[in-house]
């Protein structure tokens, strides 16, 4: 029973390493480390809590926690090390594409703004004109 629990602890650590690796790409693309780290820690806390409930009836044992950390480090220094360089290159390409998309989107928004602005200016000019002889100034007929 203890061997099975330790095996699943290593497996859980490896799974948490995979989850951490899964959140690495959005962290690199969006430069928002706090949100994705916070999300990872919530997921890992729930997973470790469920593990302790299943295998130890909720009792926290340092040996199990040690094996979870070993599983995490095993994934990080093997497959995580390989995927990190791939994710860095991929995130650079995605950032360039996102930059191009945002430039195009800004151009579209700017053209829509220009159309709106021109319509608003013309409407102000047409409604804001004073008619000659409207009471604010002398009309052409009154000067003669």
Query: What tens digit of pLDDT does each residue of 8-64 get?
Result: 999 999 999 999 999 999 999 988 889 999 999 999 999 999 999 998 888 888 999
Q: What is the pTM of this model?
A: 0.68
pLDDT of 135: 54
pLDDT tops 90 at residue 137: no
In three-state secondary structure terms, 139 is coil
pLDDT at 144: 47
- Nearest Cα to Cα of residue 9 among 89, 90, 63: 63
Work out whether the CA dihedral 91, 92, 95, 100 comes out positive or negative. negative
């Amino acid at each position: 029973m203890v061997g099975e629990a330790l095996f699943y602890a290593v497996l859980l650590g490896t799974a948490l390493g995979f989850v951490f690796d899964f959140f690495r790409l959005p962290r690199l693309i969006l430069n928002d480390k706090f949100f994705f780290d916070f999300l990872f820690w919530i997921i890992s806390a729930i997973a470790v809590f469920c593990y302790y409930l299943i295998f130890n009836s909720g009792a926290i044992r340092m040996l199990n926690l040690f094996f979870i950390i070993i599983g995490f480090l095993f994934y990080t220094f093997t497959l995580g090390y390989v995927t990190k360089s791939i994710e860095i290159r991929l995130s650079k390409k995605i950032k360039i594409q996102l930059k191009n998309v945002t430039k195009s989107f800004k151009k579209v928004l700017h053209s829509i703004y220009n159309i709106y602005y021109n319509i608003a200016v013309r409407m102000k000019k047409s409604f804001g004109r004073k008619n000659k002889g409207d009471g604010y100034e002398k009309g052409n007929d009154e000067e003669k």
